[in-house]
Each structure stands twice: as C-alpha cells, then as structure tokens.
Amino acid sequence: MYRNYHEGVRYSVQPGDSFWGLARQFALNAEELYAANPYVNPYYLFVGQELFIPTLQRQKDCITPREVELMRNERSLWEEHVAWTRMAIISLTFNLPDIEFVLARLLKNATDMGDMFRPIYGDVAADTYATLIKEHLLIAADLVKAAIAGDAQAAETAERKWYQNADEIAVFLNSVNPYLEENEVRDMFYTHLRLTKDEAISMINKDYEKDIAIYDEIEKQAREMADMISDAMIKLYPDLQR
C-alpha cells in the first residue's frame, strides 16, 4: 500500500479514504498533508491516487473497534442525509404523494445527528446541532420549491439563508471541537451546498445523467465530511479510541 522514500512514504489512496482521515492516520494535520501535496484536491481523492506522506518514521496506525464504530455511524448518518435529501428533491420535483412522509424522514436525520453528538458533547450541543441541521434541511426544501416555481427572488433569499446557516454550523462545530477548524468546516459545507443545488437543478431540468453524476460526487463528499467530524471527536477525546 505504501513504500519508503528518502523523506517519507508514497501512499496509494484506498476505497473509503478521505484527506482528513489520512492526515489523522499518519499523525499529521491537514495543513501538513496539503503542503506535501499542493496539487491534490483534498475534497476529491480517487482510488489509486498517490499521496506523499512527509515523514520516514510514521506508519499506518491500527484502528480500534470503537473508532471503527464511531466512523461507521457518522458515515451512515451522512449517507442517509444525502439519500433522503435526494428523495425529497425527487418527490418535490415530480409532486409525488409521498412528500409529507419523505420530508418527515429527512428531518429525523437532524435528530439522529444531534443524538450522535449527545454522549460526546452533551445535551446542549446535541440539541443545538440538531436544530442547525434541521434548519439546513428546511431551507434546502424552500430553495427547491422556489426553483420549481421559477421564483428567482425566493430562491435567492433561500440560498442566502442556506449559506448563513452553513456559517453558523461551522462556528458551532469549531466551538465544541477545536480540531474542526472553522474555515475547513465552512468549505466542506459550501461544497455540499453547491453540489446539492446543482443536483436539484439538474433534476428539475430533467438532465438525469448529469444529476446522477453529481449525486455520486455528493455521496463521496458526504463521507469525507463524516470522517472529518468523527476524526475530530477522536482527537479531542482520546478515550474514544479504547
């Protein structure tokens, strides 16, 4: 998987790897890894891509069962997040009779994300995060509805609120965990918003091939967001590794 070089190792990206996960795995921070790979887009790694790990001594750490569980649960929540968002876009676009139930299930994802935080960051943080994610989802629904109706002003207003909400989420996550750097979280959420908007527009325009291609990007990026959040939990609370 990797081999020694004079000042470090070359690592071949494996399925499921994320930039932030690899930084943690090799006991680096994201800035160190990016400095060693300035031409790599940290949001879009691909299997087989080679990264230079700037150290000769560090080797891949073992992952404990608790870490695996935490990362798996966080990934599951974000995979559900984007999947139910997609189903809501489809139901809204085609005026399907299941929209009430789809939106209810989508909003449950916000509660579940808050509950994931509860044993780690406490009740106040969990409830705040759930509220912010719920706002994120409701604003997204408003944006899709406005786009379907062709109401450019309403769509612009919703999109502005959407990005303001992303800013609030970035500030909040950094406040509960300093390893979640505000700028990095904001960039990740902005990418998520852009891709989701493009997905909705492609669906509304009946450009299904493009819509599916965008959703593939959304899934990959959602897993990277999940890894960034769970990695930060493990760094802040080393006992989670046991």
pLDDT in tens, the chain (242 residues): 444 334 666 788 888 888 888 887 777 878 888 888 988 998 889 988 998 887 634 444 556 777 778 888 999 999 999 999 999 999 999 999 999 999 999 999 999 999 999 999 999 999 999 999 999 999 999 999 999 999 999 999 999 999 999 999 999 999 999 889 999 999 999 999 999 999 999 999 999 999 999 999 999 999 999 999 998 898 887 766 55
Cα 174 to Cα 180: distance, rounded to the nearest angstrom: 5
Same domain, 117 and 213: yes
Is the residue at 60 inside a domain? no
Instruction: Give me the CATH number covering residue 9.
Output: 3.10.350.10
Same domain, 152 and 45: no
Identify whether the C-beta of residue 185 lies closer than 8 Å to the C-beta of residue 173. Answer: yes
Query: Domain tally for the chain?
Result: 2
Which residue segment(s) compose the domain that 188 sits in?
Answer: 65-241
Global pTM reads 0.75
Give residue 61's pLDDT.
52
Number of separate helices (H) and strands (E) present in the chain: 8, 3
Cα 12 to Cα 47: distance, rounded to the nearest angstrom: 7
Same domain, 89 and 182: yes
Enter the tokens of residue 48. Answer: 């087989």
Q: What angle do CA 102, 105, 108 make, to 5 degrees?
A: 150
Same domain, 12 and 132: no
Same domain, 106 and 10: no
Same domain, 130 and 229: yes
Same domain, 71 and 46: no
Is the residue at 171 inside a domain? yes
Same domain, 185 and 84: yes
Domain boundary among 32, 53, 74: 53
CB pairs under 8 A, 24+ apart, for 217-223? 217/44, 218/82, 218/86, 218/192, 219/79, 219/82, 220/44, 221/43, 221/44, 221/188, 221/191, 221/192, 221/195, 222/78, 222/79, 222/81, 222/82, 222/192, 223/16, 223/18, 223/75, 223/78, 223/79
